[in-house]
Amino acid sequence: MYNASDLRKNLRLMIEDDPYIVVDFQFVKPGKGQSLYRCKLRNMLTGSIIDRTFREVDSFKPADTQEKTMQYLYKEGDAYHFMDNENYEQIAMTEEQVGDAKNFLIDNMECKVLFFRDRPIDITLPNFVDVVVTEAPPWIKGDTVSGNYKPVIVETGYKVSVPPFVEQGEKIRIDTRTGDYLTRVKE
Amino acid sequence: MTADWKLETRHRALEMRADVLHATRAFFLSRDYLEVETPNRIPFPLPESHIDAVPAGEWWLHPSPELCMKRMLAAGYERIFQISKCYRGHERGPLHLPEFTLLEWYHVGYDYFRLMEECEDLFLYVSGALGTGRHIHYRGQQIELSKTWERLAVKEAFERYGSISLEEALAENRFEEILAVEIEPRLGSPKPTFLYDYPLVFASLARKRKVNPAVAERFEIYVGGLELANGFSELTDAGEQRARFEKENETRSDRGRPPCPMPEKFLEAISCMPESAGIALGVDRMVMLFADASSIDEVVSFTPEEL
Protein backbone atom coordinates (compact mmCIF):
# COMPACT_ATOMS: atom_id res chain seq x y z
CA MET A 1 0.00 0.00 0.00
CA TYR A 2 1.05 3.57 -0.65
CA ASN A 3 0.54 6.43 1.79
CA ALA A 4 -0.32 9.90 0.61
CA SER A 5 3.23 11.00 1.40
CA ASP A 6 4.50 8.58 -1.27
CA LEU A 7 2.71 10.58 -3.97
CA ARG A 8 4.91 12.07 -6.64
CA LYS A 9 4.85 12.62 -10.37
CA ASN A 10 4.69 9.39 -12.41
CA LEU A 11 3.56 7.24 -9.46
CA ARG A 12 1.11 4.58 -10.67
CA LEU A 13 -1.79 3.65 -8.45
CA MET A 14 -5.20 2.00 -8.53
CA ILE A 15 -8.43 3.98 -8.28
CA GLU A 16 -11.68 2.03 -8.51
CA ASP A 17 -10.00 -0.87 -10.28
CA ASP A 18 -8.32 1.20 -12.97
CA PRO A 19 -4.61 2.00 -13.14
CA TYR A 20 -3.80 5.73 -12.94
CA ILE A 21 -0.57 7.65 -13.26
CA VAL A 22 0.11 10.92 -11.41
CA VAL A 23 0.76 13.59 -14.05
CA ASP A 24 0.71 16.63 -11.80
CA PHE A 25 1.17 16.93 -8.08
CA GLN A 26 1.03 19.75 -5.54
CA PHE A 27 1.64 19.76 -1.80
CA VAL A 28 -0.90 21.89 0.07
CA LYS A 29 -1.19 22.49 3.78
CA PRO A 30 -3.61 25.01 5.21
CA GLY A 31 -2.14 26.44 8.45
CA LYS A 32 -1.79 23.90 11.25
CA GLY A 33 -3.98 21.42 9.40
CA GLN A 34 -3.19 18.08 7.86
CA SER A 35 -1.23 17.91 4.63
CA LEU A 36 -3.09 17.57 1.35
CA TYR A 37 -1.80 16.29 -1.95
CA ARG A 38 -3.64 17.71 -4.94
CA CYS A 39 -3.11 15.48 -7.94
CA LYS A 40 -3.98 15.28 -11.59
CA LEU A 41 -4.13 11.65 -12.62
CA ARG A 42 -4.41 10.02 -16.02
CA ASN A 43 -6.38 6.84 -16.42
CA MET A 44 -3.89 4.56 -18.13
CA LEU A 45 -6.62 2.64 -19.93
CA THR A 46 -8.87 5.44 -21.20
CA GLY A 47 -6.47 8.40 -21.12
CA SER A 48 -8.98 10.57 -19.28
CA ILE A 49 -7.62 13.01 -16.70
CA ILE A 50 -9.12 13.46 -13.23
CA ASP A 51 -8.39 15.75 -10.27
CA ARG A 52 -8.10 14.20 -6.84
CA THR A 53 -7.10 15.60 -3.47
CA PHE A 54 -5.59 13.06 -1.09
CA ARG A 55 -5.31 13.57 2.66
CA GLU A 56 -2.42 12.30 4.73
CA VAL A 57 -4.66 9.55 6.17
CA ASP A 58 -5.45 8.17 2.72
CA SER A 59 -3.73 5.10 1.38
CA PHE A 60 -4.05 3.25 -1.89
CA LYS A 61 -2.86 0.24 -3.81
CA PRO A 62 -0.01 0.44 -6.26
CA ALA A 63 -1.24 -0.04 -9.81
CA ASP A 64 -1.38 -3.64 -10.89
CA THR A 65 1.21 -2.93 -13.53
CA GLN A 66 4.36 -4.69 -14.50
CA GLU A 67 7.14 -3.42 -16.72
CA LYS A 68 8.96 -5.79 -19.04
CA THR A 69 11.95 -5.23 -21.26
CA MET A 70 10.99 -6.28 -24.75
CA GLN A 71 12.38 -6.20 -28.22
CA TYR A 72 10.35 -4.77 -31.07
CA LEU A 73 10.46 -7.30 -33.92
CA TYR A 74 8.42 -6.13 -36.88
CA LYS A 75 5.11 -4.81 -38.08
CA GLU A 76 2.68 -6.99 -39.97
CA GLY A 77 -0.53 -5.40 -41.17
CA ASP A 78 -1.89 -3.49 -38.19
CA ALA A 79 -0.01 -5.64 -35.65
CA TYR A 80 3.23 -4.66 -33.94
CA HIS A 81 5.14 -7.71 -32.72
CA PHE A 82 7.31 -7.69 -29.61
CA MET A 83 9.35 -10.35 -27.85
CA ASP A 84 9.93 -10.69 -24.13
CA ASN A 85 13.70 -10.61 -23.60
CA GLU A 86 13.51 -13.06 -20.71
CA ASN A 87 11.27 -15.87 -21.87
CA TYR A 88 11.20 -15.13 -25.62
CA GLU A 89 7.40 -15.09 -25.62
CA GLN A 90 5.91 -12.94 -28.35
CA ILE A 91 2.98 -10.55 -28.19
CA ALA A 92 1.23 -8.42 -30.77
CA MET A 93 -0.04 -4.91 -30.09
CA THR A 94 -2.50 -2.87 -32.12
CA GLU A 95 -1.65 0.54 -33.51
CA GLU A 96 -3.86 2.12 -30.85
CA GLN A 97 -2.05 0.31 -28.05
CA VAL A 98 1.32 1.35 -29.42
CA GLY A 99 0.22 4.99 -29.65
CA ASP A 100 2.83 7.64 -30.50
CA ALA A 101 5.64 5.13 -30.01
CA LYS A 102 4.89 3.87 -33.54
CA ASN A 103 6.69 6.94 -34.89
CA PHE A 104 10.01 5.74 -33.51
CA LEU A 105 9.88 1.96 -33.48
CA ILE A 106 12.82 0.47 -35.36
CA ASP A 107 13.19 -3.27 -35.92
CA ASN A 108 15.06 -4.97 -33.05
CA MET A 109 14.81 -1.90 -30.80
CA GLU A 110 14.70 -2.59 -27.08
CA CYS A 111 11.93 -0.86 -25.13
CA LYS A 112 9.96 -1.12 -21.90
CA VAL A 113 6.38 -2.33 -22.17
CA LEU A 114 4.01 -1.71 -19.30
CA PHE A 115 1.35 -4.35 -18.66
CA PHE A 116 -1.86 -3.94 -16.67
CA ARG A 117 -2.66 -7.49 -15.64
CA ASP A 118 -2.00 -9.18 -19.00
CA ARG A 119 -2.73 -6.24 -21.18
CA PRO A 120 0.03 -4.03 -22.66
CA ILE A 121 -0.91 -0.40 -22.01
CA ASP A 122 2.18 1.71 -22.50
CA ILE A 123 5.58 1.69 -24.18
CA THR A 124 8.63 3.59 -23.05
CA LEU A 125 11.25 4.01 -25.75
CA PRO A 126 14.92 4.88 -25.39
CA ASN A 127 15.16 8.68 -25.05
CA PHE A 128 17.02 8.98 -28.36
CA VAL A 129 16.57 7.09 -31.58
CA ASP A 130 18.59 7.28 -34.81
CA VAL A 131 16.55 7.01 -38.01
CA VAL A 132 17.20 7.27 -41.74
CA VAL A 133 15.66 10.13 -43.69
CA THR A 134 13.71 8.53 -46.53
CA GLU A 135 12.17 11.60 -48.15
CA ALA A 136 13.56 15.11 -48.09
CA PRO A 137 13.19 18.15 -50.35
CA PRO A 138 16.58 19.09 -51.84
CA TRP A 139 18.90 21.52 -50.07
CA ILE A 140 18.91 24.85 -51.82
CA LYS A 141 22.54 25.89 -51.42
CA GLY A 142 23.05 29.04 -49.46
CA ASP A 143 19.85 28.56 -47.48
CA THR A 144 21.49 28.47 -44.05
CA VAL A 145 19.35 31.00 -42.22
CA SER A 146 18.84 29.68 -38.73
CA GLY A 147 15.24 28.92 -37.84
CA ASN A 148 14.58 27.96 -41.46
CA TYR A 149 13.40 24.38 -41.20
CA LYS A 150 12.04 21.92 -43.74
CA PRO A 151 9.83 18.87 -43.29
CA VAL A 152 11.26 15.40 -43.97
CA ILE A 153 9.94 11.88 -43.61
CA VAL A 154 11.95 9.19 -41.82
CA GLU A 155 11.96 5.40 -42.22
CA THR A 156 9.14 4.91 -39.71
CA GLY A 157 6.88 7.24 -41.68
CA TYR A 158 7.22 9.99 -39.08
CA LYS A 159 7.33 13.57 -40.33
CA VAL A 160 9.76 15.93 -38.59
CA SER A 161 11.21 19.41 -39.12
CA VAL A 162 14.95 19.52 -39.71
CA PRO A 163 17.53 22.15 -40.73
CA PRO A 164 17.81 22.65 -44.52
CA PHE A 165 21.18 20.87 -44.88
CA VAL A 166 19.78 17.43 -43.91
CA GLU A 167 19.53 15.29 -47.02
CA GLN A 168 17.78 12.11 -48.07
CA GLY A 169 19.59 8.94 -46.96
CA GLU A 170 21.22 10.61 -43.96
CA LYS A 171 20.70 9.43 -40.40
CA ILE A 172 19.30 11.82 -37.79
CA ARG A 173 18.78 11.61 -34.03
CA ILE A 174 15.32 12.29 -32.57
CA ASP A 175 14.31 12.82 -28.95
CA THR A 176 11.43 10.36 -28.52
CA ARG A 177 9.99 12.29 -25.55
CA THR A 178 9.44 15.48 -27.55
CA GLY A 179 9.53 14.10 -31.10
CA ASP A 180 12.07 16.79 -32.05
CA TYR A 181 15.12 16.58 -34.32
CA LEU A 182 18.37 16.82 -32.36
CA THR A 183 21.34 16.33 -34.68
CA ARG A 184 22.72 14.59 -37.75
CA VAL A 185 24.41 11.28 -37.06
CA LYS A 186 27.65 10.51 -38.89
CA GLU A 187 28.10 6.81 -39.46
CA MET B 1 27.07 31.28 -19.66
CA THR B 2 26.13 32.49 -16.25
CA ALA B 3 27.11 30.63 -13.14
CA ASP B 4 23.62 30.37 -11.75
CA TRP B 5 20.83 31.85 -13.81
CA LYS B 6 18.09 31.05 -11.31
CA LEU B 7 19.89 32.95 -8.60
CA GLU B 8 20.40 35.86 -11.00
CA THR B 9 16.71 36.08 -11.83
CA ARG B 10 15.92 36.47 -8.13
CA HIS B 11 17.95 39.64 -7.69
CA ARG B 12 14.94 41.96 -7.50
CA ALA B 13 12.96 39.66 -5.24
CA LEU B 14 15.90 39.35 -2.86
CA GLU B 15 16.28 43.12 -2.72
CA MET B 16 12.60 43.32 -1.91
CA ARG B 17 13.05 40.65 0.73
CA ALA B 18 15.70 42.77 2.45
CA ASP B 19 13.41 45.80 2.30
CA VAL B 20 10.53 43.82 3.81
CA LEU B 21 12.76 42.68 6.66
CA HIS B 22 14.04 46.19 7.35
CA ALA B 23 10.56 47.71 7.24
CA THR B 24 9.17 45.01 9.50
CA ARG B 25 11.83 45.65 12.12
CA ALA B 26 11.29 49.40 11.87
CA PHE B 27 7.54 48.91 12.39
CA PHE B 28 7.93 46.94 15.59
CA LEU B 29 10.69 49.15 16.97
CA SER B 30 8.47 52.18 16.37
CA ARG B 31 5.84 50.48 18.52
CA ASP B 32 8.20 49.83 21.38
CA TYR B 33 8.56 46.09 20.82
CA LEU B 34 11.70 44.31 21.94
CA GLU B 35 13.41 42.22 19.26
CA VAL B 36 14.37 38.88 20.77
CA GLU B 37 16.22 35.77 19.72
CA THR B 38 15.40 32.39 21.23
CA PRO B 39 17.22 29.10 20.59
CA ASN B 40 16.48 27.39 17.30
CA ARG B 41 17.51 24.05 18.73
CA ILE B 42 15.25 22.80 21.52
CA PRO B 43 14.98 19.56 23.54
CA PHE B 44 11.45 18.88 22.31
CA PRO B 45 8.82 20.67 20.19
CA LEU B 46 5.29 21.30 21.49
CA PRO B 47 2.86 18.43 20.78
CA GLU B 48 1.05 19.38 17.57
CA SER B 49 -0.95 16.96 15.44
CA HIS B 50 0.29 17.80 11.99
CA ILE B 51 3.81 19.13 12.35
CA ASP B 52 6.94 17.04 11.91
CA ALA B 53 9.87 18.62 13.70
CA VAL B 54 13.30 18.07 12.19
CA PRO B 55 15.83 16.30 14.42
CA ALA B 56 19.17 17.97 15.16
CA GLY B 57 21.33 15.53 17.04
CA GLU B 58 19.54 14.52 20.24
CA TRP B 59 17.41 17.67 20.05
CA TRP B 60 15.07 19.24 17.51
CA LEU B 61 15.02 22.31 15.29
CA HIS B 62 12.10 24.47 16.36
CA PRO B 63 9.03 24.44 14.09
CA SER B 64 8.26 27.92 15.49
CA PRO B 65 9.64 30.02 18.36
CA GLU B 66 6.31 29.88 20.20
CA LEU B 67 7.45 27.77 23.13
CA CYS B 68 10.31 30.04 24.20
CA MET B 69 8.56 33.32 23.41
CA LYS B 70 5.60 32.47 25.64
CA ARG B 71 7.95 31.70 28.49
CA MET B 72 9.27 35.23 27.98
CA LEU B 73 5.73 36.64 28.21
CA ALA B 74 5.27 34.82 31.50
CA ALA B 75 8.51 36.36 32.74
CA GLY B 76 7.23 39.89 32.17
CA TYR B 77 8.29 40.74 28.60
CA GLU B 78 5.19 42.50 27.31
CA ARG B 79 5.85 43.25 23.65
CA ILE B 80 8.29 41.01 21.82
CA PHE B 81 8.97 40.08 18.23
CA GLN B 82 11.34 37.67 16.55
CA ILE B 83 12.34 36.95 12.97
CA SER B 84 13.78 33.47 12.83
CA LYS B 85 14.37 30.49 10.61
CA CYS B 86 11.97 27.65 11.40
CA TYR B 87 11.96 24.05 10.27
CA ARG B 88 9.20 21.59 9.43
CA GLY B 89 9.82 18.21 7.92
CA HIS B 90 8.04 16.89 4.81
CA GLU B 91 6.65 20.29 3.84
CA ARG B 92 7.60 21.18 0.29
CA GLY B 93 5.41 22.80 -2.33
CA PRO B 94 4.88 26.12 -4.10
CA LEU B 95 4.10 27.70 -0.70
CA HIS B 96 6.27 25.51 1.51
CA LEU B 97 9.95 25.09 2.26
CA PRO B 98 11.22 22.80 5.00
CA GLU B 99 13.33 25.76 6.19
CA PHE B 100 11.50 29.07 6.14
CA THR B 101 11.45 32.45 7.85
CA LEU B 102 8.83 33.25 10.43
CA LEU B 103 7.99 36.58 12.02
CA GLU B 104 6.38 35.97 15.37
CA TRP B 105 5.15 38.64 17.75
CA TYR B 106 3.25 38.85 21.04
CA HIS B 107 1.48 41.68 22.78
CA VAL B 108 0.35 41.44 26.40
CA GLY B 109 -3.16 42.85 26.90
CA TYR B 110 -4.27 42.30 23.30
CA ASP B 111 -6.90 39.85 22.12
CA TYR B 112 -7.17 38.50 18.59
CA PHE B 113 -9.39 41.32 17.29
CA ARG B 114 -6.97 43.97 18.55
CA LEU B 115 -4.14 41.98 16.97
CA MET B 116 -5.93 41.99 13.60
CA GLU B 117 -5.78 45.79 13.62
CA GLU B 118 -2.06 45.67 14.24
CA CYS B 119 -1.69 43.34 11.25
CA GLU B 120 -3.43 45.88 9.05
CA ASP B 121 -1.01 48.54 10.32
CA LEU B 122 2.00 46.32 9.65
CA PHE B 123 1.07 45.65 6.01
CA LEU B 124 0.35 49.32 5.41
CA TYR B 125 3.67 50.27 6.98
CA VAL B 126 5.62 47.77 4.91
CA SER B 127 3.86 48.67 1.66
CA GLY B 128 4.60 52.32 2.42
CA ALA B 129 8.27 51.60 3.03
CA LEU B 130 8.51 49.55 -0.18
CA GLY B 131 6.83 52.34 -2.12
CA THR B 132 4.21 50.02 -3.59
CA GLY B 133 1.33 52.08 -2.23
CA ARG B 134 -1.90 50.65 -0.92
CA HIS B 135 -2.95 49.04 -4.17
CA ILE B 136 -0.93 46.00 -5.04
CA HIS B 137 -1.15 43.40 -7.79
CA TYR B 138 -0.92 39.79 -6.84
CA ARG B 139 -1.44 36.93 -9.31
CA GLY B 140 -3.63 39.04 -11.59
CA GLN B 141 -5.69 40.42 -8.72
CA GLN B 142 -5.95 44.04 -7.60
CA ILE B 143 -5.69 44.22 -3.85
CA GLU B 144 -6.45 47.20 -1.68
CA LEU B 145 -4.51 47.07 1.59
CA SER B 146 -6.12 50.05 3.31
CA LYS B 147 -8.30 49.51 6.36
CA THR B 148 -10.67 47.91 7.18
CA TRP B 149 -9.98 44.37 5.98
CA GLU B 150 -12.71 41.78 5.66
CA ARG B 151 -13.46 39.72 8.78
CA LEU B 152 -15.07 36.39 7.96
CA ALA B 153 -15.91 33.62 10.42
CA VAL B 154 -14.86 30.12 9.37
CA LYS B 155 -18.43 28.84 9.63
CA GLU B 156 -19.67 31.61 7.38
CA ALA B 157 -16.86 31.01 4.88
CA PHE B 158 -18.00 27.38 4.53
CA GLU B 159 -21.58 28.56 3.98
CA ARG B 160 -20.52 31.13 1.42
CA TYR B 161 -17.92 29.23 -0.60
CA GLY B 162 -17.99 25.57 0.44
CA SER B 163 -19.89 22.73 -1.19
CA ILE B 164 -20.64 21.32 2.27
CA SER B 165 -21.17 22.91 5.68
CA LEU B 166 -18.49 23.25 8.34
CA GLU B 167 -20.20 20.56 10.43
CA GLU B 168 -20.26 18.11 7.52
CA ALA B 169 -16.64 18.86 6.66
CA LEU B 170 -15.57 18.16 10.24
CA ALA B 171 -17.58 14.94 10.40
CA GLU B 172 -16.06 13.67 7.14
CA ASN B 173 -12.49 14.78 7.94
CA ARG B 174 -12.60 17.11 4.94
CA PHE B 175 -12.06 20.43 6.73
CA GLU B 176 -8.62 21.10 5.23
CA GLU B 177 -9.66 19.89 1.78
CA ILE B 178 -12.72 22.15 1.51
CA LEU B 179 -10.74 25.02 2.97
CA ALA B 180 -7.78 24.64 0.64
CA VAL B 181 -9.61 23.72 -2.56
CA GLU B 182 -12.88 25.65 -2.38
CA ILE B 183 -12.50 28.48 0.11
CA GLU B 184 -8.92 29.77 0.19
CA PRO B 185 -8.78 30.77 -3.50
CA ARG B 186 -11.77 33.09 -2.89
CA LEU B 187 -10.32 34.85 0.16
CA GLY B 188 -8.40 38.09 0.39
CA SER B 189 -9.53 39.96 -2.71
CA PRO B 190 -10.18 42.82 -3.33
CA LYS B 191 -9.30 43.37 0.33
CA PRO B 192 -7.34 41.03 2.61
CA THR B 193 -9.44 38.69 4.74
CA PHE B 194 -9.16 37.68 8.36
CA LEU B 195 -10.66 34.20 8.55
CA TYR B 196 -11.48 33.72 12.23
CA ASP B 197 -13.05 31.52 14.90
CA TYR B 198 -11.65 28.10 14.11
CA PRO B 199 -13.09 24.85 15.47
CA LEU B 200 -11.28 24.03 18.71
CA VAL B 201 -9.47 21.01 17.25
CA PHE B 202 -7.60 23.32 14.88
CA ALA B 203 -6.33 25.69 17.55
CA SER B 204 -4.70 23.80 20.36
CA LEU B 205 -2.89 26.83 21.78
CA ALA B 206 -5.69 29.38 21.40
CA ARG B 207 -8.24 30.54 23.95
CA LYS B 208 -11.82 29.30 23.73
CA ARG B 209 -14.31 31.95 22.75
CA LYS B 210 -16.50 32.82 25.75
CA VAL B 211 -19.64 33.46 23.68
CA ASN B 212 -19.14 30.25 21.66
CA PRO B 213 -16.94 27.63 23.32
CA ALA B 214 -17.03 25.43 20.20
CA VAL B 215 -14.53 27.76 18.58
CA ALA B 216 -11.14 29.18 19.45
CA GLU B 217 -10.09 32.80 19.10
CA ARG B 218 -7.79 32.09 16.19
CA PHE B 219 -7.48 33.82 12.82
CA GLU B 220 -5.57 33.50 9.59
CA ILE B 221 -4.69 36.26 7.16
CA TYR B 222 -5.39 35.71 3.47
CA VAL B 223 -4.36 38.10 0.73
CA GLY B 224 -5.27 37.24 -2.84
CA GLY B 225 -5.83 33.61 -1.86
CA LEU B 226 -2.42 33.40 -0.18
CA GLU B 227 -2.35 32.33 3.46
CA LEU B 228 0.09 34.54 5.32
CA ALA B 229 -0.29 34.36 9.09
CA ASN B 230 -1.87 32.55 11.98
CA GLY B 231 -2.73 34.49 15.13
CA PHE B 232 -4.75 33.98 18.28
CA SER B 233 -5.67 35.01 21.78
CA GLU B 234 -3.38 32.89 23.89
CA LEU B 235 -4.67 30.10 26.05
CA THR B 236 -3.47 30.78 29.62
CA ASP B 237 -5.18 27.91 31.42
CA ALA B 238 -2.45 25.33 32.05
CA GLY B 239 -4.92 22.57 32.89
CA GLU B 240 -6.83 23.01 29.66
CA GLN B 241 -3.59 23.33 27.69
CA ARG B 242 -2.38 20.02 29.11
CA ALA B 243 -5.62 18.31 28.06
CA ARG B 244 -5.34 19.78 24.56
CA PHE B 245 -1.74 18.62 24.22
CA GLU B 246 -2.83 15.13 25.25
CA LYS B 247 -5.39 15.24 22.44
CA GLU B 248 -2.76 16.42 19.97
CA ASN B 249 -0.55 13.54 21.04
CA GLU B 250 -3.41 11.10 20.50
CA THR B 251 -3.82 12.38 16.95
CA ARG B 252 -0.08 12.10 16.46
CA SER B 253 -0.16 8.46 17.55
CA ASP B 254 -3.16 7.74 15.30
CA ARG B 255 -1.24 9.10 12.33
CA GLY B 256 1.90 7.16 13.11
CA ARG B 257 3.84 10.07 14.58
CA PRO B 258 5.66 9.63 17.90
CA PRO B 259 4.00 11.54 20.74
CA CYS B 260 5.93 14.48 22.24
CA PRO B 261 6.69 14.61 25.97
CA MET B 262 4.52 16.99 28.01
CA PRO B 263 6.30 20.37 28.02
CA GLU B 264 6.21 20.90 31.78
CA LYS B 265 8.24 24.12 31.87
CA PHE B 266 6.00 25.60 29.20
CA LEU B 267 2.81 24.59 31.06
CA GLU B 268 4.20 26.08 34.26
CA ALA B 269 4.94 29.31 32.40
CA ILE B 270 1.52 29.74 30.82
CA SER B 271 -0.18 29.33 34.19
CA CYS B 272 1.34 32.70 35.09
CA MET B 273 1.16 34.23 31.61
CA PRO B 274 -0.91 37.42 31.32
CA GLU B 275 -3.77 37.66 28.80
CA SER B 276 -2.13 38.26 25.45
CA ALA B 277 -2.30 37.65 21.74
CA GLY B 278 0.36 36.45 19.37
CA ILE B 279 0.86 35.66 15.72
CA ALA B 280 3.23 33.92 13.33
CA LEU B 281 3.60 35.38 9.86
CA GLY B 282 5.42 33.73 6.97
CA VAL B 283 8.02 36.24 5.85
CA ASP B 284 8.75 34.38 2.62
CA ARG B 285 5.08 34.55 1.70
CA MET B 286 4.91 38.24 2.57
CA VAL B 287 7.75 38.80 0.11
CA MET B 288 5.88 36.63 -2.44
CA LEU B 289 2.91 38.94 -2.06
CA PHE B 290 4.84 42.15 -2.67
CA ALA B 291 7.03 40.60 -5.38
CA ASP B 292 3.97 39.05 -7.09
CA ALA B 293 5.64 35.62 -7.01
CA SER B 294 3.73 32.41 -7.67
CA SER B 295 6.24 30.19 -5.89
CA ILE B 296 8.16 30.52 -2.65
CA ASP B 297 11.24 29.42 -4.63
CA GLU B 298 11.33 32.83 -6.29
CA VAL B 299 11.92 34.74 -3.05
CA VAL B 300 14.71 32.77 -1.39
CA SER B 301 18.38 32.70 -2.36
CA PHE B 302 18.48 28.91 -2.54
CA THR B 303 15.91 26.15 -2.32
CA PRO B 304 17.03 22.86 -0.74
CA GLU B 305 17.04 21.23 -4.20
CA GLU B 306 19.57 23.80 -5.44
CA LEU B 307 22.12 23.19 -2.71
Higher pLDDT, B90 or B62: B62
d(CA B222, CA A132): 58
Mean pLDDT of A54-67: 90
Residue among A7, A29, A40 with most chain B CBs within 10 A, to mutate: A29
SS3 call for B49 = coil
What local confidence, expressed as pLDDT, does residue B256 receive? 87
Nearest to A31 among B92, B94, B220 (CB): B220
Q: What interface predicted TM-score (ipTM) does this complex get? A: 0.86
* CB A28, CB B94: distance < 8 Å: no
What local confidence, expressed as pLDDT, does residue A145 receive? 57
Nearest to B227 among A30, A55, A56 (CB): A30
Q: What percentage of chain B reaches a pLDDT higher than 70?
A: 99
Nearest to A34 among B50, B93, B184 (CB): B50
Taking a contact as any Cβ pair under 8 Å apart, which residues of chain B between 96 and 115 contact chain A?
96
Q: What is the DSSP letter of B299?
A: G
Shortest distance, CA B222 to any CA of chain A (angstroms): 11
- Search chain B and give the residue with CA nearest A27: B93
Shortest distance, CA B92 to any CA of chain A (angstroms): 6
d(CA A44, CA A65): 10
d(CA B9, CA B12): 8
pLDDT value at B108 more than 70: yes
Nearest to A36 among B92, B94, B177 (CB): B177
Q: Is the pTM of this model over 0.90?
A: no
The 10s digit of each residue's pLDDT in B182-228 is 999 999 999 999 999 999 999 999 999 999 999 999 999 999 999 99
The 10s digit of each residue's pLDDT in B264-306 is 999 999 999 999 999 999 999 999 999 999 999 999 999 999 9
pLDDT value at B2 more than 90: no
Residue among B176, B295, B297 with most chain A CBs within 10 A, to mutate: B176
Environment class of B187 (CB within 10 Å of its CB; exposed 0-12, middle 13-18, buried 19+): buried
Mean pLDDT of chain A: 90
The 10s digit of each residue's pLDDT in A147-177 is 578 899 999 999 999 988 899 999 999 999 8
Residue B93 and residue A56: Cβ atoms within 8 Å? no
* CB B276, CB B14: distance < 8 Å: no
Mean pLDDT of A22-29: 92
pLDDT value at A144 more than 70: no
Residue among B46, B50, B204 with most chain A CBs within 10 A, to mutate: B50
Shortest distance, CA B262 to any CA of chain A (angstroms): 19
